[in-house]
């Protein structure tokens, strides 16, 4: 089941919210757990057992680590056991096929018989719930959160369906208080509905339309320079609107249930360095990698060379986390290399002024990286890069021109205008003192009720676009999220 489906919108969500709000506070976490398991089992019931098993394992390890004491040797042994088993589970399901295929390629080249391994199916969301489980037992070991004895709350944290499949990557220490005591208000529910609709529009209206363009360009056997750049730019926009749209929907659903999740995107394409980009893109993952991998490797505490090495290794492993493919490893190495270069050059990665040259160079680096991230294999990536940087024929090929529609071109233009407008607005808004958030309905000093018509019209437009998106979704057969494969 996915958020962008009629089953979720018109069956699962209204039934769940109805039961959730008629239930007492005592039973809401249990209801959330049951609903999340149903949500997950809608895809495959058998992998629900693995999911529950990982949850029980980390709950038990957390108790053992907590009982052994903060940062003690016995606690460290329990921690290593817990993390080791988690990584073995992730490694088997995510990298077994890749490892055997790579080994067989070597053996075949040497004239040896290849190994035969039944294809291992990747459970959806496994990377996210494994990382969240690891962060919990590490936080217990560090003393950042006590080990919980409430199995229902912990299981609900791991399984909570708004973020289960594709993040944000949450941490138990940030949500434990909300599981025990969260507020449910009309304002929060309204904010959640608006946020969900915004994400839905991003996904269905923009990302799904651009997906057709990107898929076609990357499938061309002999792309022109124009084809390759069109595909790269279409995918750059598609990935942002798809993934940030999912995050918006997850955050919105959380608000409807009284939770406030961390932001996962802050206009990343306005960045003026790769370092700034990773403070704005997939924030929950980048901070996870910083806190649990980069710092564990030594961070910047062990000399200049080791700092550069740790930056590079963190991003290399971050790339590998995305999937078992050499393309992801190279993409991670690409970003790790530029993070190290920027640290070595001492670049200002928190600019107060907008520099078009720095922005253009950073955006170019990001787009170039997305090409290999999107490519099915190194051959496709090489074909796209060869066309992009041959600077030959900037005209679209005949087959591409024949399939490109006016709606797709208009959507691509709207996508980049949207990115530019909200990116620049975010940049200059952060440069001025923060203002209190406004609500559509306000109480005037004389006690009368006033309306902020700008906010009212904005929300009315969002509602109108949401309805149109639902109609568009009904005409589509399938609308998966890109990060479901990770």
Q: Rounded to an integer, what is the distance from CA 176 to the centroid of its chain?
A: 22
Residue closest to 87 by CA, chosen among 310, 306, 320: 320
Token digits for 2?
């996915």
216 among known catalytic residues: no
Residue with tokens 């306005």: 270
* Other C-beta atoms lying within 10 Å of the C-beta of residue 481: 20
Token digits for 223?
């792309």
Half-sphere exposure of 296 (CA within 13 A, CB side): 14
How far, in Å, CA of 204 to CA of 241, rounded? 9
How far, in Å, CA of 103 to CA of 97, rounded? 10
Token digits for 395?
């005209």
Q: At what angle do helices 356-374 and 326-345 cross, to 10 degrees?
A: 160
How far, in Å, CA of 160 to CA of 36, rounded? 6
How far, in Å, CA of 255 to CA of 183, rounded? 10
Token digits for 257?
């249930």
Token digits for 414?
């709207």
Among the options 216, 282, 322, 335, which is catalytic?
A: 322
How far, in Å, CA of 216 to CA of 226, rounded? 13
Phi and psi angles of residue 451, each rounded to the nearest 5 degrees, phi first: -115, 135
Pairs from 146-150 (Cβ < 8 Å, separation ≥ 24): 146/66, 147/62, 147/63, 147/65, 147/66, 147/67, 148/59, 148/62, 148/172, 148/176, 149/63
Q: Are 170 and 284 in contact (CB under 8 A)?
A: yes
How far, in Å, CA of 244 to CA of 96, rounded? 30
Token digits for 390?
């041959």
How far, in Å, CA of 241 to CA of 233, rounded? 13
What are the angstrom distances between the C-alpha of 107 and each of 99, 101, 118, 146? Answer: 12, 10, 18, 49
Going 441 to 444 to 448 to 451, the CA torsion angle's sign is negative
Which residues are designated catalytic? 322
């Amino acid at each position: 089941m996915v958020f962008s489906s009629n089953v979720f919108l018109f069956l699962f969500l209204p039934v769940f919210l109805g039961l959730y709000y008629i239930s007492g506070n005592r039973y809401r976490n249990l209801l959330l757990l049951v609903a999340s398991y149903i949500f997950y089992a809608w895809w495959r019931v058998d992998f629900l057992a693995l999911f529950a098993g990982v949850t029980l394992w980390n709950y038990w390890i957390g108790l053992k680590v907590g009982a052994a004491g903060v940062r003690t040797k016995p606690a460290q042994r329990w921690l290593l056991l817990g993390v080791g088993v988690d990584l073995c589970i992730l490694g088997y399901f995510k990298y077994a096929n890749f490892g055997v295929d790579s080994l067989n390629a070597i053996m075949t080249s040497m004239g040896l018989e290849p190994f035969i391994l039944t294809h291992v199916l990747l459970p959806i969301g496994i990377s996210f719930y494994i990382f969240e489980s690891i962060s919990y037992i590490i936080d217990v070991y560090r003393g950042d959160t006590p080990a919980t004895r409430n199995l229902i709350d912990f299981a609900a944290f791991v399984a909570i369906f708004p973020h289960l499949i594709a993040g944000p990557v949450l941490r138990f220490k940030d949500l434990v208080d909300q599981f025990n005591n969260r507020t449910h208000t009309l304002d929060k529910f309204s904010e959640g509905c608006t946020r969900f609709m915004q994400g839905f529009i991003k996904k269905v209206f923009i990302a799904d339309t651009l997906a057709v363009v990107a898929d076609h360009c990357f499938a061309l056997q002999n792309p022109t320079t124009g084809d390759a750049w069109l595909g790269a730019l279409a995918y750059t926009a598609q990935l942002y609107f798809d993934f940030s749209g999912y995050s918006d929907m997850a955050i919105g659903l959380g608000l409807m249930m009284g939770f406030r999740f961390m932001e996962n995107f802050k206009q990343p394409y306005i960045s003026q360095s790769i370092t700034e980009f990773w403070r704005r893109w997939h924030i929950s993952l980048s901070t996870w990698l910083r806190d649990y991998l980069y710092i564990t490797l030594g961070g910047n505490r062990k000399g200049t060379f080791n700092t550069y090495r740790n930056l590079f290794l963190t991003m290399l492993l971050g790339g590998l986390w995305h999937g078992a493919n050499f393309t992801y490893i190279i993409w991670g190495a690409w970003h790790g290399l530029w993070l190290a270069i920027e640290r070595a050059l001492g670049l200002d990665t928190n600019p107060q002024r907008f520099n078009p040259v720095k922005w253009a160079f950073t955006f170019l680096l990001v787009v170039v990286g997305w090409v290999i991230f999107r490519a099915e294999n190194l051959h496709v990536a090489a074909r796209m890069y060869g066309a992009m940087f041959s600077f030959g024929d900037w005209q679209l090929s005949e087959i591409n021109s024949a399939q490109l529609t006016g709606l797709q071109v208009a959507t691509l233009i709207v996508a980049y205008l949207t990115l530019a407008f909200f990116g620049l607005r975010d940049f200059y808004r952060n440069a001025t003192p923060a203002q209190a958030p406004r609500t559509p309905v306000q109480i005037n000093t004389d006690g009368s009720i006033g309306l902020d018509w700008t906010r009212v019209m904005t929300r009315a437009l969002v509602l109108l676009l949401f309805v149109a998106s639902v109609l568009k979704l009904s005409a589509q057969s399938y609308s998966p999220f890109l990060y479901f494969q990770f």
